[in-house]
Structure 1
Amino acid sequence: MVHGTLTPVFVGLRTGLHVLSAALLALVVVRIVVEGGATAPLAGVLAGAFAVVYLLGAVVARGAPGRRAVAGPLWVGGLSVVWVALMVLVPEAAYLVFPLFFLYLHVLPRIVGPTAVVVATLVAVVALGVHGGFTLGGVVGPLVGAGVALLIGLGYRALAREAVEREALLAELIATRDRLAATEREQGVLAERARLAREIHDTVAQGLSSIQMLLHAAERADGDRPGTEHIRLARETAADGLADTRRFIRELAPPTLDQGLGAALRRLADQQWTRDGLAVSVAVSDDGLPMDVETALLRIAQGAVANAVQHAAPSQVDVTVTVDGREARLTVVDDGVGFDPVTSGDDVAASDSFGLRAMAERVEQFGGRLDVDSAPGRGTTVTAVLEVP
């Protein structure tokens, strides 16, 4: 059953059908008790059988769709057989055809349902005619009931289709809202990272630069006095800290993605990654990815290349981005010293490397996967696969 704004309508229609069936069956039972006769016990048994078979429909309705497709017609067929047998003994049982109309239209396939309604109408008219003679009311009543049932059945199916379409539209709207929320969060994160980059540049980086300059001046003023080696060591330490700080600033404020992921990666390769003899190649097959996916791929590529530069001492790094249907694949291959994934931990998310953990967490946000293939002496391959909304 489709759950949504139209669910109360469907529940009301089904409840009304059950009430109608119970009332008409009660009328038949009263007729059996009042009239009595030799056939009363058999009629009572058939009335009870009709009630039991009808209640079995609740079990059928709760089954799986495949089960309902097979058991539904069998259930309606059995109910019809009991109804015909009961109608032979009790003429008032002909009125049970009205709830059967709705069951035929609801359970049986499209063309079979209306055909069953027509056949049941003819059977009811003949039964009433055999028992009490053919009258205008005995003919028109079932015909009118069949027409009303067909109209209500068509309306029910139209409502069901509308409910399915509405649920699909609602699911799409919710998915779009979630994507927008994720994009807004990502943009907020980027804005905050840019702010942090500016703050670090204006405070820590400037302070380290000033300390380095002052220590260099003190070293030049009197290079032979005692303690000069400590000043030189402090200056070199400040210079290393300044270099690390500038690297952090570059990673916090990546190149803009306005011209696509490929252009951003190539700018990183030209301006930041290619130094000290390191060659970086970039190949991107598709720049038409959503902004949040491109941002994630850019961050993962930054982390993978940074890990390679810091720990693997490579001479060549290849960055490749390919798109296959709903998946975007980023591959970063370096020819560095490599490492043993077994001793480093098979679980990337639980790795001691902060860079690997950060990449794994970002991949997980997109329902993707991160694989690291490496061995001592043969480099490292980092593969990130992200789902494209």
Structure 2
Amino acid sequence: MNAAAPAPIPTTRALAWCLHLLVAALLALAAGRAVVDHRPNAGAVVAAALTCALAYAAGPALPGVRRSRRAAAVWLAVVGAAWLVLLVLTADGVWMAFPLYFLQLHLSSRRSGPVAVAVTAAAAVAGFAAHQGSFSAAMAIGPALGAAVAVAVVWGYQALYRESEHRRHLIEELTAARADLSRAQHTAGVLAERERLAREIHDTLAQGLTSIQLLLRAAERALPDAPHHASRHVEQARQAAVDNLAEARRFVVALGPPALEGTTLAGALQRLCATTSTRHQVTARFHLTGTPVPLPTAHEVALLRIAQSALANTVRHARATTADITLSHPGGHVLLEVVDDGRGFDPDDLPAQDPEAGGFGLAAMRARLHALGGTLALVAAPGHGTALAARLPLAAPDSEDRP
């Protein structure tokens, strides 16, 4: 009923109504017995009972009693004074001590509540003894036992309420944490999908468009003097566009690359070398060392994309005449090596990544390999060609197979 009191819930409201009914019943009992027994002070008893009832009823109607501990103390003092008057007039007033215990414990602090209860119990014992004209230990048992029960019930309820509030706060924190985790997972999923699309676009569409651009430039140069060669370059550019359209459709729905359909990684790499040699002025050769082993689709896709990206860089930047792709399986790993005889570069002086100029290839390769527990090694020097080695651990046959 004050700032320190528990917020009203259905259970506390039910208990409050039970307390109201108990007070009304005890006051009616005291007044009724005085009238029925034709006591000389029956009128005074009825007046004192009504005064006590009005003082008690004023408490729930006053908002200050529920908000301020000081206002609650004043109200309890008024109710207590009215009860003392009733106790002086009739011994039946002693029964009102029991609901007063609950009010005092509920509205007072944890220190002052038991003190008020003890004072009320002592007053009840003294008033009842005065009406009886004598005192015995039995007279103190009832009020003392009632006080002990009230203290145990109220303190037990407060402990349960604190535990309930603690659990409610924990549930709220857990709900908030789950919401934060859900948002974080959503954000991580969006970023992962964005990274996947970025890698696929770089390794397929971007490289394919570069190949088409180079073929069309070759056709443009050959058109005045060798229309037949120009026509062949245009046809190759058209086929490259068809291949890239198929790639685009498939990575949008997260399917494997068309180059791996119906063939192995070795077959796809062999075909990649043949296509590159046909379309560009680079002789690409494939070498298979050892016996091929089955690989998870994710491994095959990663190695194929790395080979595609490496060959595209060779065609576009290296000015190489030959490029060799070697696939081997040393000691529980699969190793892909791409070596060219181009002009090379300084690995410590790579250009910054730029949406117009590119520069995302090596970062995309490392990201693919890192996601699968692999490593990327690069050896290059100006004027001495480039060698790239991608190594992945061989997964168990029953491992998860997803790109």
Check conservation: 1:2, 1:164, Cα contact below 8 A.
no
Check conservation: 2:31, 2:49, Cα contact below 8 A.
yes
Check conservation: 1:2, 1:163, Cα contact below 8 A.
no
- After superposition, the Cα gap between the structure-2 partners of 1:219 and 1:56, relative to the gap in structure 1 and judged at 3 Å, is farther
Residue of structure 2 equivalent to 1:147: 148
Query: What amino acid does structure 1 have at the position aligned with 2:46?
Result: G
Check conservation: 1:73, 1:107, Cα contact below 8 A.
yes
Residue of structure 2 equivalent to 1:121: 121
Query: What amino acid does structure 2 have at the position aligned with 1:121?
Result: A
Cα deviation 1:206-257 (Å, max 9, x = unaligned) = 44324322332232223799xxxxxxxxxxxxxxxxxxxxxxxxxxxxxxxx
The structure having more radius of gyration, on CA atoms, is 2
Cα deviation 1:105-127 (Å, max 9, x = unaligned) = 11111221111111111111111
Residue of structure 1 equivalent to 2:311: none
- After superposition, the Cα gap between the structure-2 partners of 1:108 and 1:64, relative to the gap in structure 1 and judged at 3 Å, is closer
Query: What amino acid does structure 2 have at the position aligned with 1:163?
Result: S
Number of residue pairs matched by the alignment: 232
Query: What amino acid does structure 1 have at the position aligned with 2:194?
Result: R
Cα distance in 1 between the residues matched to 2:182 and 2:209: 39
Cα distance in 2 between the residues matched to 1:202 and 1:85: 95
Quote the sequence identity (%).
Answer: 41
1:95 aligns with 2:95: yes
Cα deviation 1:313-363 (Å, max 9, x = unaligned) = xxxxxxxxxxxxxxxxxxxxxxxxxxxxxxxxxxxxxxxxxxxxxxxxxxx
Cα distance in 2 between the residues matched to 1:275 and 1:205: 11
1:177 aligns with 2:178: yes
Residue of structure 2 equivalent to 1:272: 353
Aligned residue among 14, 17, 29 for 2:16: 14
Cα distance in 1 between the residues matched to 2:160 and 2:41: 44
Check conservation: 2:45, 2:90, Cα contact below 8 A.
yes
Residue of structure 1 equivalent to 2:30: 28
Q: How far has the Cα of 1:148 moved from its partner?
A: 1.5
SS at match of 1:272: coil
Equivalences for residues 155-166 of structure 1 within 5 A:
155-166=156-167
Check conservation: 2:64, 2:71, Cα contact below 8 A.
no
Q: How far has the Cα of 1:174 moved from its partner?
A: 1.9
Q: How far has the Cα of 1:179 moved from its partner?
A: 1.9
Query: What amino acid does structure 2 have at the position aligned with 1:220?
Result: R
Q: How far has the Cα of 1:272 moved from its partner?
A: 2.9
Aligned residue among 50, 54, 57 for 2:56: 54
Cα distance in 2 between the residues matched to 1:49 and 1:129: 24
Cα distance in 2 between the residues matched to 1:26 and 1:75: 21
Residue of structure 2 equivalent to 1:324: none
Q: How far has the Cα of 1:99 moved from its partner?
A: 0.6
Check conservation: 2:64, 2:72, Cα contact below 8 A.
no
Equivalences for residues 232-247 of structure 1 within 5 A:
none
Cα distance in 1 between the residues matched to 2:222 and 2:45: 120
Deviates more, 1:118-127 or 1:38-47: 38-47
Task: Compute the RMSD of aligned alpha carbons.
Answer: 3.6
Query: What amino acid does structure 2 have at the position aligned with 1:100?
Result: L
Query: Runs of 5+ in structure 2 lacking a partner?
Result: 227-349, 358-403
Cα deviation 1:126-153 (Å, max 9, x = unaligned) = 1111222335443221111112122223
Query: Runs of 5+ in structure 1 lacking a partner?
Result: 226-268, 277-389
- After superposition, the Cα gap between the structure-2 partners of 1:154 and 1:270, relative to the gap in structure 1 and judged at 3 Å, is farther
Cα deviation 1:14-58 (Å, max 9, x = unaligned) = 344333223222212322432355643443333223223223332
Residue of structure 1 equivalent to 2:258: none
Check conservation: 1:114, 1:150, Cα contact below 8 A.
yes
Equivalences for residues 202-221 of structure 1 within 5 A:
204-221=205-222
Query: What amino acid does structure 2 have at the position aligned with 1:76?
Result: L
